[in-house]
Amino acid sequence: MRLSEKYIIIILGIMLLFSLTACSSGGDETAVTVENSAEPVDPSSGSAEITISAPDSTWTTDIITGGIELNEVHPFAGGLIGTDSMSIYFSSDGINWDLTLDLAPYPFYDAFLAGGQFAVYDTNNSHFTSDGKSWTSAPRQDYHLFNTAMYDGSRFIDVDTGYLCTSSDGLKYIRYQAEVGNPLSEVYFQTASGYAASIYKLAQYNGTYYAVGDGIWSSGDLATWTQMVTIEEMVYGATDILYNGSMFFLPADYDNFAFDGSKITSVKPGGSVFLVDSKSRFIALHGTGNATVSTDAITWEQLFTEDDVSFSAYCAVEFNGHLFVYGEDGNMRYAKIPD
């Protein structure tokens, strides 16, 4: 072999060795490390980094067949019950939905768990199911306006233009009297200025009832209520109350609040729909894909970042270890919930 050919081979060998070394040790800017498990985040640390397991670290987006715009979704009977403005649907996987009841011509009004049944109200009728698919329907025997209803294990409860009402069967409601037989003892919610208070959510946690709207009220027996927070402290009031075992989170149209039972704090979780997951964490979700998580409703950490699909989010639910978000034109996204 000629000397010049030896030099060429040596030079090529050095170049190949340099290339292999660079690929194995010098690619910090392009190297990707995949974590197989996620560590819980303590929001009090303020700088914890959330690691999301692959391949569920990004949202999967889809459109529900027919463009169904779900406005509420609830886990029940091993699946999900969803409602739009005029219909009720059931899904066994959160992705595919079957029509189970047409409410027309009466618009959807409210939906809630009622013991071993699930109840859906339209503006005229009450509908009940024990399997999420077949429904028993009956007209309510009295018509009155209410924003929310609930079942406490023995009776149905709603608030009618400031008055608390109860029902034994979910069909006929009467105004609740703190003293039976005394019409003057009817329970009535009012603002500090004497007007009927709008109540947008009734809930029961640890045996205590909560009424939320133009303020926050609590009661241990339905008869005696204590106003915990006034409308002036909340500016525009709240539309829901979520509880994770130690803190309350109150979503509202113009603000959101953390509440520890005595002090209310305005917070900015960066979401438009909210839930409490199976790990007792508050999760705030936005139609852009952004999601944050908190254990105290005050300090929020990033859970998911925005993706390239954006839509108005109407509701969200945890199901089979995944988060599902539903919104306009049937848009939806889902992803596994990080530990």
Quick check: is 297 in a domain?
yes
pLDDT for the residue numbered 55: 40
**pLDDT tens profile 236-279:** 899 999 999 999 999 998 899 999 999 999 999 999 999 999 99
pTM metric for this prediction: 0.82
Quick check: is 77 in a domain?
no
pLDDT for the residue numbered 57: 62
The first and second tokens of residue 97, run together, are 């939905």
H, E, C per residue of 225-292: CEEEEEHHHHCCCCCCCEECCCCEEEECCCCEEEECCCCEEEECCCCCEEEECCCCCEEEECCCCCEE
Q: What is the mean pLDDT of the chain?
A: 85
**pLDDT tens profile 114-154:** 999 999 999 999 999 999 999 999 999 876 778 899 999 99
* Structural Rg of the chain based on CA atoms: 27
- Cα 339-250-303 angle, rounded to 5 deg: 25
Q: How many domains does the chain have?
A: 1
pLDDT for the residue numbered 241: 98
**pLDDT tens profile 31-84:** 222 222 223 333 333 323 333 333 456 899 999 999 999 999 999 999 999 999
**pLDDT tens profile 229-247:** 999 999 889 999 999 999 9
pLDDT for the residue numbered 254: 86
Query: If you average pLDDT over each of 14-18, 35-39, 91-95, 306-310, which comes out highest?
Result: 91-95
With contact defined as beta carbons under 8 Å apart, do 255 and 236 qualify? Answer: yes
- Can you list the positions of beta strands (E) in 92-184? 98-102, 108-114, 117-122, 125-129, 136-139, 149-151, 156-160, 163-167, 174-175
Band (pLDDT 50/70/90 cuts) for residue 23 is very low
Quick check: is 289 in a domain?
yes
Quick check: is 139 in a domain?
no
| 3-class secondary-structure state, position 216 | strand
pLDDT for the residue numbered 1: 44
**pLDDT tens profile 161-193:** 899 999 999 999 999 999 999 999 999 999 988
CA separation for the pair 153, 198 (Å, rounded)? 24
Give me the domain span that covers residue 308: 36-65+268-339
| 3-class secondary-structure state, position 36 | coil
| 3-class secondary-structure state, position 44 | helix
CA separation for the pair 323, 37 (Å, rounded)? 18
In one letter, which amino acid is 296?
A: D
Quick check: is 208 in a domain?
no
Quick check: is 330 in a domain?
yes
Quick check: is 90 in a domain?
no
Quick check: is 312 in a domain?
yes
